[in-house]
Structure 1
Amino acid sequence: MLYRYINVALLWLMRLAFLISAPLLLWQGDPLGLLAIVALLVTFIPTFLRRYDINAPWWLEFLIALAFFLDVVVGSEFAVYKAITGFDWITHILGTFIISLIALSIVYSLKVTGRIRVNNGMIWFFVVVFALAVGAFYEILEFLTDIIFATNSQVDLTNTMVDMMNDLIGGIITATWGTYYLTNLQGKKMRDVLDPYIKLLKLFGVRIKEGARKIKEHKHFRPHKHG
C-alpha cells in the first residue's frame, strides 16, 4: 500500500539524518551525538526482529524513529528546544507514550496467554508507574550527562519536574487508551495485534504454550455469532 512506501521512505530519511547528525554533534562536543548513534541502531531493531518472524506494526516502527528524530535532530541540532517553549513537552509525552505502549502490550500478552493473573486496573496502574520510572531514569541520565560532559540539559528543578509531569501524562494516555483498546478487541484482530509481542516473549525464553489457543479462549476473544 502507498502509506507503507511513504513510511519506509520517511524512515530512511530519518536514519540518514541520524547518520549525519551523529558526527556533527560529536564534533561540536555535544554528547547527544552518542544518542544519535543509539537512535540509528534502534531504528534497525524491527528489521532484526523480522529475522525471527516478529513483525512490529509499521506505525510503531515509524513512531520510534520519529521520537528520536524530534529529540536529537529537530530539538537539539536545530535548537528548537531553545526556540520553542513547550517543544520539550511533546517529545517527552511522545517518547513515554511509545515505551509505555510496548510495555502495556507485553503485559497484556502475558495476561491473555495465562502467564500472569491481573485485572485491567492493575495493568493501568503498572503502565502509569512504569512511565514515571522510565521518565525518572531518563532524568538521571541527563543529570549524569551534565556532570560528565559539562552540559546543561537539566536547566533547573522546574524543568525536571515539568518533564516528569509530561511523562506522567504520556503514561496516563497510554494506560487509559491502550487498556480500553485491547480490552475491546476480539478474535483474529486481537491475535494479530499481540502476535509480535507473544513471539518476542518466546524469543526471550518465556514459555508460552499454545498461545494462540489460549487467546482464542480468553473471554475478550470470543467471536460474535451472526444469526
Structure 2
Amino acid sequence: MRLRDRVGLSARRQRQAVRVMQVLLVVFVGIGIGEGNTGVIVNACIALGVTFAPAALEREYDLPMDAGLTLWVCSAVFLHVLGTVGVPGLVESFYGEGSPLPFYDHVTHALSASVVAATGYTVVRAVEEHTDTVSLPPRFTFVFILMFVLAFGVLWEVVEFAVSGAATLVGGGSVLTQYGIEDTMLDLVFNTVGGVVAAVWGTAHLTDVASALTRRLDGARRRDAGE
C-alpha cells in the first residue's frame, strides 16, 4: 500500500496542496523583493519553476507524474524556501543558529535527498528494463542509490561553500549559506536517511514512472534503427 493510501489523502487534496504551495512561493518572491533579499528571490523563483516540472514531464514525455509524486517534489522545494523566509515579523529564518526548529535544515535535506534518490532509482530502473546487457541485483541497486545521493550531497555542500565564499568576497547576499562543519556533516547524514527512504519505498511509488521512461527509450531505439 502506498503512503498516500495510508494517510487517506485524496488526489484532489494533494493537487490542492500543491496549488497552495505555488501561491505561497509567489508570495515569497514578493517578500524577497520587498526586503531586497536576493537569496529569497532566487530560491523562491527556482522552487516555483520546479513545482511545474512534474506537469511538464507528464505533458511532454507522457511520464505518469501522479498527484502524490508531484506533492512529494513540491514539498521538498517549498519547505526549503520556507526555511529561508521564516515567518515575517516573527522568525527571520528556520536555518542556522537561533532557529526555533533546530533540525529543520536536516529534515529538508532528507526530503530533498529522497527526491534525488528517486530520480536516480527511476533512471537506473528504466535503463535496466531497456537493455538486456544491464542487470542490477536489488542489493546493488540499493547501494547505488545511496552512493548516488551521497555523491550529490557532497557536490551540493561544495557548491554551498563556493557560493557562500564568493558572496563574502564580493560583499553581497548569498543565495546559499553554509553553517559550519558540524552542520555539513549532519546534512550528509540526513541525506543518507532520505536516500534510504527512497531506496526502500521506491518500487511502490516509482515503478510506473520507470516503466514509462523505458517505453520512451525503447521508442527512441526503434526510431534510430529505422523500425
CA distance in 1, matches of 2:219, 2:115: 23
Q: CA RMSD in A?
A: 2.6
1:39-80 per-residue CA deviation (whole Å, 9 max, x = no partner) reads 11111112112223222132111011111111102x110122
Which residue does 1:69 correspond to in 2?
A: 78
Deviation at 1:203, TM superposition (A): 5.0
Which residue does 1:107 correspond to in 2?
A: 124
Distance 1:114 1:63, change over 3 A: same
Which residue does 2:39 correspond to in 1?
A: 31
TM-score normalized with structure 1 length? 0.76
Which residue does 1:212 correspond to in 2?
A: none
1:71-126 per-residue CA deviation (whole Å, 9 max, x = no partner) reads 102x1101223221111111111111122022112212322343522211221111
Q: How many residues align?
A: 197
Which residue does 1:17 correspond to in 2?
A: 24
Which residue does 1:146 correspond to in 2?
A: 164
- Structure 1 residue ranges without an equivalent (≥5): 186-191, 210-227
Q: Does 1:85 align with 2:94?
A: no
SS in 1 for 2:123: helix
Deviation at 1:3, TM superposition (A): 1.4
Q: Does 1:160 align with 2:160?
A: no
Query: Is the contact between residue 154 and residue 160 of structure 1 (CA under 8 Å) also seen in structure 2?
Result: yes
Which residue does 2:13 correspond to in 1?
A: 6
CA distance in 1, matches of 2:177, 2:206: 37
CA distance in 1, matches of 2:219, 2:142: 22
Among candidates 198, 210, 220, match of residue 197 of structure 1: 210
Distance 1:153 1:193, change over 3 A: closer
CA distance in 2, matches of 1:45, 1:14: 14
Deviation at 1:193, TM superposition (A): 5.1
**Greater shift in the superposed pair: 96-105 or 149-158:** 149-158
Query: Is the contact between residue 18 and residue 40 of structure 1 (CA under 8 Å) also seen in structure 2?
Result: yes
Deviation at 1:155, TM superposition (A): 1.4
Looking at both structures, which has the greater relative contact order when contacts are Cα pairs under 8 Å and sequence separation is at least 6?
2
Query: Is the contact between residue 15 and residue 43 of structure 1 (CA under 8 Å) also seen in structure 2?
Result: yes
CA distance in 2, matches of 1:154, 1:2: 36
Q: Does 1:134 align with 2:152?
A: yes
Query: Is the contact between residue 130 and residue 217 of structure 2 (CA under 8 Å) also seen in structure 1?
Result: no
Once the two structures are aligned, what percentage of the paired residues are identical? Answer: 22
Query: Is the contact between residue 29 and residue 41 of structure 2 (CA under 8 Å) also seen in structure 1?
Result: yes
